Structure 1
Amino acid sequence: MMKMTSPPLDGLKRRMDRHRRENPSASEGRFIRETYRLSREDARQKAREWFNEYPKAAYWTEVESWRQLEGDEIEFTMRRLPTAD
């Protein structure tokens, strides 16, 4: 039997790094992000506001990350596209 190995990725990584250096605006600004630290109920309300203001189907709105902190606080990041185009 022949053992399958992964191809080296060094060349691909170098090309990706070069592309990002030469085209910095291509990777920046695609999404608008805002991070909040609120009580659990206020966090739910803020997320609802985002989904009402920027519908998921048009803006790809989502809760990108979240974590529960002490004292029933939630820290979370909302993400959306800048326009619905």
Structure 2
Amino acid sequence: MIKRAQRVTQSDDLILAIGLIWGHLNTAQYERADRLARGCLCIWPDDERIIVMAAFASVEMGNALNEKMLEVLYSAQCREWADMVLRRAGKTKEMLC
């Protein structure tokens, strides 16, 4: 019998949502990405990936980052993404400490 590799348990809906948000960001459709990410945050309010993508879309539209976004960005597991979003938002390294 062949055993199939088991995926990390994430809902198919969450995986699809992340892919859709990423698709909008990848094609510079920041308003759509922002709208979709904010809707997804109503369903998955603590998903770091969605929060970081929402922050990126927000910054690209010239909007300020909210407290939750800043909190997640300062402690994000993916430092490269977080640092890039914070730089684009005008936050400096000194503010990270």
Same structural fold, with TM-score higher than 0.5 when normalized by the shorter chain: no
TM range (shorter): 0.3 to 0.5
**Which is richer in strand?**
1
What TM-score do you get using the length of structure 2 for normalisation? 0.31
Considering only CA atoms, is the larger Rg found in Structure 1 or Structure 2? 1
Q: Which has the higher contact order (CA 8 A, sep 6+)?
A: 1
**Which is richer in helix?**
2
